[in-house]
Amino acid sequence: MEDSEKKAPSVIDRYFTRWYRTDLKGKVCEDHCILQHSNRICVITLAESHPILQNGRKIKNINYQISDGCSRLNNKVSGKSKRGGQFLTEFSPLCRITCTDEQEYTIFSCIRGRLLEVNEAILNKPDLLLEKASTEGYVAVILPKFEESKSITEGLLTREQYEEVLMKRNQQEEPC
């Protein structure tokens, strides 16, 4: 294939760096993807290996109500410095997703920062999460603290490291 025939990179590939968190909280294959923009904003999505995206699963319910006193839908930010956003640690739950086979998965923030928004569109159209996980089917947008924006990727995997994890899993007796 000649250079002129190569497909242009997607918006995601052009403006975001993909980072991965695998086996979150010890749950094998429950992998998350963090899309980090050059302006330090991070978009939390499901990694393509996440069980929700496997075996033709269908989503029954997405719930941003984390506990009796905490709903991510109540998150309100204002102003240039995004005041008022809920502060998250890397293991803060963002939502719970229940599939039609009654399997429930908790999606975590994976990084520290302020919650800027959750994707309310997936509440009405959960198939976006299945069909366009990296774009319209994202879970949330998080803004790391400025002083932590360089260090948030410590403990995350690069695309190459993530692919190595997937290759090792596929060599095992029981892959995801």
Interval 54-73: pLDDT, tens: 888 999 999 999 888 888 98
pLDDT in tens, 81-134: 677 788 999 899 999 999 999 999 999 999 999 999 999 999 999 999 999 988
pLDDT at 6 over 90: no
pTM over cut 0.75: yes
Q: What is the pLDDT of residue 1?
A: 43
Task: From 130, 154, 126, select the one nearest 36 (Cα to Cα).
Answer: 154
Which phi-psi region, left, alpha or beta, contains residue 40 (left: φ > 0; alpha: ψ -120 to 50)? left
